[in-house]
Structure 1
Amino acid sequence: MGEFSRSSSQDHTSLREAREAFHSADQAADDPGDRRVRNWLRVSWLRSRAAKVDVDRPSAGYVEPLPVDTVLTRAARPVLSALSAEIENEPVSLILTDAKGTVLSRYGGDRGLLTALDRVDLAPGFRYAESQVGTNGIGTALEVGAPLLIRGDEHYSGHLRLFSCAGALVTHPITGTLLGVVDLTTKTENTNSLLLSFAKLAATRIRERILEEANELDRALLHDYHAACQHSGRPVIAVGDEVLMMNAQTQQQFDSRDQAAIIDRTRDARGRAEPFTMLADLPSGITARLSYQPTFVEDRLAGGVVRIKEQLARTRSPRAAKQPALRALAGRSAQWQHTVHGVVEACRRREWLVLDGEPGVGKTALIRAAHEHVRSDRGLAVLDAAAVDGGELLEQASATLEGGSDLAVLHAHALGDDDLAGLGQLLQTVTPDTLPDDPWVALTMQPPQEESDTHSLLRLFPKTLSVPPLRHHLEDVPELVRFLLDAAGATDLTLSPAAANQLMRLSWQGNVTHLRSVLEETCRRRRSGTVEIGDLPAECRATTRRNLTRLESLERDAIVDALALHGGDKAAAAKALGMSRATIYRKIREFGITL
């Protein structure tokens, strides 16, 4: 047999007896430990038992595989293909999983081994987390956070004791992010310590390949960045997953506050595979035009280059300077004030307006506040297309206009094609001859609008304003917090500087509506005094920028609550949650949890 042939003879009797003693022990009793079992292995058995893993035949969960091309799969494919060719005569299979233990691919192995692996669901699409199948080379390596070899009798579940497996973690060579596991599995009689060495070698080669690819992508991005700097002569920024470059013109033309605002806007460009242009209102009062062009290496996105052009330097007219703050709004940032001013002026001139933006940014509040400020002597009917039938909405809109009131239609994108056409026909009949007064009409929509559905309607509206998401004017969060707390009746409740700063670090995917719900939850816990970071809801203790799944959100909240319950003691929190200390450290980093 070859280098992965049968291991030297050794006595497994003591380990088998220790395992049987463990399984026969009272599960409710504390386990005092068994010197015949290594400590990390005993802890893994305890975790498996706490997860109620079936000792005889656990079930690996199946996850529908997604046809995605990731950093891990791109780097692993040539590495594992080459390594499997090196051991093609060996009775061993190379297995790649993601960071949750889901099998992505399987290489090598003779027919008998592959058939045996299929019987235990160690195949693409199945998740080999320790919580589902017990102690194993994939799930336990993830829990422990280190490479390890699980020999046959060390497995928690009986049907896995036919195999020995060695798992090595694959981490990103630049960010340190956990990407997955390389596992080598063979039948128990072929166990050899070289399995672990080979798994580590495979993981190292994958990391090297990732670094090579990153360098290749970075070189392509750098090339496009230099070309843009030379040809445009304008401020330029290059943005990638791990790269941010800014030329001298950007630093000279914009002060530090404007630079920070531009960088914050470019965050939305990360991962975008299509060109786009956006306007950014900067703290200095400048409006900048940001044009993004992606960079590719074959079909791989390397990042993109953002060319910056100053659209206009906004100067306040005497009228605008004297304009009082709107009572129902909060926020002093240049970008927010620019949007407010645009809505107020449209209302003042009776210029029909479309407000678009993400859910929760404050479109309805803007319309109401501007109307109250400019046309308080005239009624405003606010109709929600997402809440009433299209036919009923058209009847109410017609009655509103005939009655001499102004009209706001919320969520106009929710109307069907026929109702959109009907609304357009209704508004086309609005003239000074048919109505007692020239009305103001405003619509709210979520971008992007499908031109085929709304084009004829939007032609009636000469002005469109985009309301910025909260993450683009985070400097308004403290004032918004005070405004929303007062509106909720919590006038005696304040936030400490640390808690306010924490809220300003979050991405607020639900915008102002999301912030309001967080503050309402905080108010339910206390009505007066000072709110510290520890008093904020669990979701506010994590600063990860990526969107979490529902399951990940629950996991994050559970970790935050456990840490709070145990005074920040990670070991105690991990024990309470039934996870290893290495896992809770990894999760804290992954979720950006603030202690």
Structure 2
Amino acid sequence: MFRSGTLAETAKRHRPAVPVAAVDAGTGHRHPLAMASDVVADLRHLRPEIALSWQRSLLCGLTPDEPREPATIPEIDRSSRLLDAARPILEQLADDLSGTDFCLLLANRNACIVDRYSSGPGIARQLDGIGAVVGRPFTEELTGTNSIGTALELRHGVAVNGKEHFIAAMKRFSCYGQPILHPITRRVEAILEITSPVQIAPRLWIPIINRAAKDIEHRLRAGARLAEQRMLAAYEEACGRGRRPVVVLGDNLVLANPAAVDLLHIADHALLREMAAQPGAAPRWEQNILLESGLRSAVTFERIPDSNGAGLFDITVLDRPRLPVPRLAGVSGPSEALSDQLANWRVRRAPLVIAGEAGTGRTTVARQLAGSLPMATVDPITLAKETAAGEPTWPSPGTLLVVDGVGTLPDDVASRLRRLLRDTQTWFALISSPLVSMTGPNAELVSLCLNRVQLQPLRYQQEDFTQIVNEILRRLAPGRTAGLDGRTWNALRGQPWPGNYRELTDVLHFALNHNPAGPLRPEDLPPAYRRVHSKHQLTHLEQVERDTILRMLEDLQGNKARTAHALGIGRTTLYRRLRELGID
């Protein structure tokens, strides 16, 4: 977000020296710079909150000519708690509006229209023409400034009149939207909006819409109390069946018996909620999951009727999980085939390249490849120097020669080493940096090895992070039963881990020395690891995207314009992704 005037100054700096035609003669489309100039001029005449909304729309890459189409149109649950609470209020309002040119729209917490009441076919057809139909999202990101998306952003009622709409097709309407707040959390639960043609401003209806929004909030509160009673009854019945961990998760209420409190971490609650919210989830199902503590557990889920979607989880702890082994790139979870592959390559004395970032376990894989056979490690520059001075000293037959440090060698060293290894009968393995970043003679060097193991960096393994941490703890402190508290898990998950497994092992070793007995707390970690670096936990795909952008910025000496062009995206999109991915 930026002040008025900044956009004008930016447009002025990038204005071409030659005049820009308002309409492209070849395509008939308006030139983007001409549209930007119009938008900048309009900003000066808008109310401050509307001007800021226009700026947000511009930052999302919108143009006034047309809205952005949503990727998907979600199905609307006609029996949802929101619609049950709102329906009587909306029907009464619709009767009051009969014979006028007004229309009522109800949108959910995601700004998606879930219900619409029109006073007549004329206004209904006009709204159909701008896509204001049930199922269509009306966020600012998709449709610019409007009284649904903008009210959601501002968290208070807002009127958008005629030309204040960002999208040109919407300037024919005047609208007012009022947020409906959840009775307990006070989060925005929905938006109630009234729309009319621009010549009939809905100002007189604003107090009535505000009153209707309050009435819907009261009905939501009454429904929440009834749902809580049903949740409590289901919880007490389940607890009476035995001593297993039992937890009930609702929108704003969590019930857990002592066994569940001892077993489940905050992250486990999030996992259970996510599983229960899967589209098309059955009212009852059973599934095995891995808890934050590393324990495998069987979970039985049962939806509680008439409880606003709440569910009961009955949990049975199974045996402990198997110990993890190094991960192959692109594979989620332990690779069961890796040990068999290494044994096969050992029998055939096949050359192998082990690629990955520092600390991902490349040397560990090399030791597993050698098995019970001897292993000799040499750095490539030393080997190349020995070659230049004469015949290098090769290890005895049956010994695995590990060349550690391939991938960033000077071109002449990489070429010399390739010729040397191509002509030798010695069994060797190359430890390399990630193959994706390799070019020239270094790439030719690793091409000697048709067999390859690519190890994932730790930041790509959020799904297995708990299992990895618990295995390291078992190795560092055998027999220790106390784990990590929830805050420590959050702190560790939020780290970028450039040193991968080695860095994580060092951090846990430090924490165990600081607190050898009880659960590890954030204050037991080294000071630099006690806070979360990223605003949210990045997914595997976001981590890959972040690494790609960083690598491109490095290759182009930090030039963001060239980076955006090389990635095939606009500069606005690049700046937004830099911010969202935590890249300074």
TM-score (norm 1): 0.49
Q: Higher relative CO (CA 8 A, sep ≥ 6), structure 1 or 2?
A: 1
TM-score (norm 2): 0.50
